[in-house]
Homo-oligomer: A and B are copies of this chain.
Amino acid sequence: MADSPQVCGPAVPTESSRAVLRPLGVGDVDITGGPLGRWQRINREASIPLGLEQMERAGAVPNLRRAAGEADGAYQGYRFQDSDLYKQLEAVAWEHARRPGPGYPEFIAGSAALLGRAQRPDGYLNSHYQVVKPDKIYAELEYSHEMYCAGHLFQAAVASARAGGDPRLLEVSRRLADHLVAVFLTGGDDGIDGHAEVETALVELYRVTGERTYLELAGKLIDNRGKGLIKDSGMGPLYAQDHLPVREADTPVGHAVRQLYLEAGIVDVYLETGDESLLECSVRRWEDMVATKMYLTGGVGSRHDGEAFGERYELPPDRAYNESCAAIASVHWNWRLLLATGDGRYADLIERVLYNAFAASTSADGLRFFYVNPLQRRDDTVEDAYLGRRREWFACACCPPNIMRTVASLGHYVATTAGRATQVHQYVPGVIRSGDLVLRVSTDYPWDGRVTFTVERAPAGEWSLALRVPAWSAATTVDGAPVTPGERGYTVLTRTWRPGDTVELRLDLTPRLTHPHRRIDAVRGCAAVERGPIVYCFEQADQPVDLDELALVPGAALRVVPEEHLDGVGRTVLIEADAVAITQPSRGLPYTSTPPTGLATSTRVTATAVPYYQWDNRGAGAMRVWLPLA
């Protein structure tokens, strides 16, 4: 075993790593309510059972039976179908660690046994290539997803191992990882998977096993990217981030999920090797992404074509791709940057992604999922029937089990420790166990800005409690006194704590009218509504007129509507805004010498906004995050 601490979570740097913060395990934080608690309940009750059913129906398990010689019939689905099962296994492993569940150990043990039987004696394992293309093993890495699938297996095995589950998943993983090492590290093959993912997974497998060649292989795959070693899959070199060496690239490009999984691997390798040049280049791209290529919701990927990042400031709300998996990959990357630097801006972004881009991916009942998460839907989205509404499952089902593994492990992302300190990054009601400090957190966040911490168990001597002050909170108090956060975005209370001590944090939830940078062409002249970490949107169902005729009054007064329950949505807080309805005739060329204001008529109305993540739970109507200013 390595010197990795016994922490049960999805990203746990070793004791000798460069991590300045240390994570807690998924079981060290109980989330007892709030949206995150609700998502965990629905994940357990609705999403995971649906996912388990789909493992048989959509072919992932039958394909592995075929690879084991135990079933007939044609291979089902995409060439990366194995990864659906691996993500589902990881979801179940974290969920079981959080709270043991019926059938979970059997599902993991049964899957591990099947994988053991499907695996070749030399360690290779991939049902698509074993069943369909045995002569093409590792010969089509530009699109084969073989290492991508392996990475997801490793992550599932790491989860199961950290949770103390069936060791066979780890055994299968080690045999496969050793095979990769034999071919691609000691064997001298310079192949690289077109879809990054195995890099971060190899580092995690190193952390659990102490096998250093896994870390070395991850480093090699990262160092060799951008040298043209990936054959063109027809999408060009940017698609797979093979256009430039990672240390030279200034901006995220190509397939968004690939770029962000790659970044997670880059930071992981930095953490374990101390190679500063890796952290530097990753931070550089993070800064560029945040300033020029990220949506207000924290979503990334502006283009359907290639599921890709666009150019700087290319951020169309209607054709935003914003794949759910990219939101998840962003959480992975930000989490590792947070551990590496302790800078709260990464925790700020995790919050933005979690409550918006990520949360929107799942329906209120946990049974339907978005693959694509736009910031605008028109009323004639008939053309996008496939991607325009949430669906139960997808032919390419990368997102649903990815969402499930993330929700099951949310406790991991709430708090960290470092020396004699605990850092709270996300505010959820429940309990945080950080070594000798046990905190009870009482809050109705994000609907209410008050968060009360009660010390249930205190360490001996002084201990610091660092509370993140979100950048959006204009006026923050602790126990009634205004606080100014430190450079890294936290307010730090260093005391000798006693059981029963309390701290009350108040964040400023005054609703905000938000304006885009003038270079974001696609939403010029528009504004959006935010409150706390929540981005709002306007759904047709709540408006008195056609949504596309609505315009906000500049500097519009925003009124918080007392909390309510919406059918199909559940608990919510709505916001009303002063607006006008503007009608412009639509006949002939929509280009005239008269400014549109001269052609339009307008009347005063009230526009009503609902949290973006709760959209599409009440029918197929139009939706906009950004409304024009009148």
Residues of A near any B CB (own CB < 8 A): 236, 238, 251, 253-254, 287, 290-292, 294, 296, 303-305, 308-314, 316-319, 376, 378, 380-381, 383, 385-386, 471, 512-526, 528, 548, 554, 582, 584, 586-596, 600, 628
Contact across chains for B628 and A311 when beta carbons are under 8 A apart:
no
Contact across chains for A378 and B587 when beta carbons are under 8 A apart:
no
Q: Which residues of B have CB within 8 Å of A589?
A: 290-291, 294, 471
Contact across chains for A596 and B518 when beta carbons are under 8 A apart:
yes
Q: Which residues of B have CB within 8 Å of A521?
A: 317-318, 376, 522-523, 628
Q: Which residues of B have CB within 8 Å of A628?
A: 518, 521, 524
Contact across chains for B515 and A595 when beta carbons are under 8 A apart:
yes
Contact across chains for A383 and B253 when beta carbons are under 8 A apart:
yes
Contact across chains for A316 and B522 when beta carbons are under 8 A apart:
yes
Residue in B closest to A380 when the chains form the complex, CB atoms: B311
Tell me the bound Cα distance from A309 to B513 in angstroms: 33
Residues A596 and B517 in contact in the complex (CB < 8 Å), given A236-B385, A291-B586: yes
Contact across chains for B319 and A590 when beta carbons are under 8 A apart:
no
Contact across chains for B584 and A518 when beta carbons are under 8 A apart:
yes
Q: Which residues of B have CB within 8 Å of A595?
A: 515, 554
Residue in B closest to A293 when the chains form the complex, CB atoms: B590
Q: Which residues of B have CB within 8 Å of A304?
A: 303-305
Contact across chains for A591 and B383 when beta carbons are under 8 A apart:
no
Can you list 28 A-B contacts with CB-CB less than 8 angstroms, sorted by A residue number? A236-B385, A290-B589, A291-B586, A291-B590, A303-B319, A305-B305, A311-B318, A311-B378, A311-B381, A312-B378, A317-B521, A471-B589, A512-B593, A513-B593, A514-B593, A515-B591, A515-B594, A516-B596, A517-B584, A517-B590, A517-B591, A518-B582, A518-B596, A518-B628, A519-B548, A521-B522, A521-B628, A524-B526
Q: Which residues of B have CB within 8 Å of A312?
A: 378, 380
Residues A588 and B291 in contact in the complex (CB < 8 Å), given A518-B596, A521-B522: yes
Chain B min CB distance to A318 (Å) = 6
Contact across chains for B524 and A525 when beta carbons are under 8 A apart:
yes
A311-B380, A316-B319, A518-B582 given; 14 more Cβ-contact pairs under 8 Å? A236-B386, A290-B589, A292-B590, A296-B591, A312-B380, A314-B378, A471-B589, A515-B596, A516-B596, A517-B590, A517-B596, A519-B584, A519-B586, A521-B628
Q: Which residues of B have CB within 8 Å of A513?
A: 593
Q: Which residues of B have CB within 8 Å of A294?
A: 589
Chain B min CB distance to A609 (Å) = 16
Chain B min CB distance to A68 (Å) = 30
Contact across chains for B590 and A516 when beta carbons are under 8 A apart:
yes
Residues A591 and B380 in contact in the complex (CB < 8 Å), given A305-B304, A584-B519: no
Tell me the bound Cα distance from A239 to B587 in angstroms: 26
Contact across chains for A290 and B588 when beta carbons are under 8 A apart:
yes
Residue in B closest to A352 when the chains form the complex, CB atoms: B589
Q: Which residues of B have CB within 8 Å of A586?
A: 291-292, 517, 519
Q: Which residues of B have CB within 8 Å of A314?
A: 318-319, 378
Tell me the bound Cα distance from A116 to B341 in angstroms: 73
Chain B min CB distance to A258 (Å) = 14
Residue in B closest to A239 when the chains form the complex, CB atoms: B383
Contact across chains for A600 and B518 when beta carbons are under 8 A apart:
yes
Tell me the bound Cα distance from A240 to B628 in angstroms: 34
Q: Which residues of B have CB within 8 Å of A554?
A: 595
Q: Which residues of B have CB within 8 Å of A319?
A: 303, 310, 314, 316, 319
Residue in B closest to A472 when the chains form the complex, CB atoms: B593
Tell me the bound Cα distance from A69 to B241 in angstroms: 44
Question: Which 10 pairs show the lowest CB-CB distances between chains A and B?
Answer: A517-B590, A525-B525, A518-B596, A304-B305, A524-B525, A311-B378, A515-B595, A305-B305, A518-B584, A514-B591
